Amino acid sequence: MTRPVPEAPPSDYRILVPRDWFHVDLTQDRWRGQLKTYVDREFAGSRTSSDVSRSAWVSLRNMVENGLARGALEFFLRTESPGGTKAEPASLLISWPPVPRGAAPTVEEFARVFNERRGPDYDVDVIDLPAGRTVCIRTVTALDYHVRMPGEAGYLHLAFSIPLSGTESSMGNLCDAMAHSLRWVRGR
């Protein structure tokens, strides 16, 4: 009996994100300047103190730095509150955590690990997205999709944070639709 030939890892991914979401490319060293541009734009003309904008900048910078330690590639932001960033914006952090090829657990094993850590208001499901088998973790304000990559290349992580309206809202539905839009670009 012959084993099936494994699929080749993708060369890239594509995901549909609305144009009004601010994009920060984390693969470039200029991400701090891009993030600062976002914060400055959000607080321009507002009557909030500089301490509030500085706090927003530090919070977002820390989020990115923590993400970069786990293979973050892109960061998207969208303010949900009218008139500026009174609360954290909705966000999408896309990461490809480094895992040796072929060493990533199966989707079921991965889901089991998350189920063992499960807390209140923490749902773990294995779902099928067009891009492949996925572990979906839903809390009140976050949606995490761990999408198994072809060719045993590991998991692409889509981390949505929706602090203002929560996951049971039109913004939560939009984030779910974005995750469902993920497609792989075939390797060469």
- The mean pLDDT of 93-99, rounded to a whole number, is 92
pLDDT in the model for residue 1: 44
pLDDT in the model for residue 79: 87
Interstrand relation of 132-138 and 142-148 (parallel, antiparallel or unpaired): antiparallel
Query: Confidence band (pLDDT; 50, 70, 90) for 46?
Result: confident
Residue 22: both structure tokens together: 């601010």
Cα 129-135-136 angle, rounded to 5 deg: 80
Residues 6+ apart with CB under 8 A from 175: 90, 92, 143, 160, 162, 167
Query: Confidence band (pLDDT; 50, 70, 90) for 27?
Result: very high
- The mean pLDDT of 71-99, rounded to a whole number, is 83
Q: Tens digits of per-residue pLDDT, 128-140?
A: 999 999 999 999 9
pLDDT in the model for residue 85: 45
Helices 50-68, 31-43: crossing angle, 10 deg rounding: 150
Residue 68: both structure tokens together: 């970069």
Residue 86: both structure tokens together: 């009174």
Backbone angles phi, psi at 60, to 5 degrees: -70, -40
pTM for this prediction: 0.89
pLDDT of residue 24 exceeding 70, the answer is yes
pLDDT of residue 3 exceeding 50, the answer is no
- The mean pLDDT of 9-24, rounded to a whole number, is 94
Q: How far apart are CA 8 and CA 35, in angstroms?
A: 34
Q: How far apart are CA 147 and CA 157, in angstroms?
A: 6
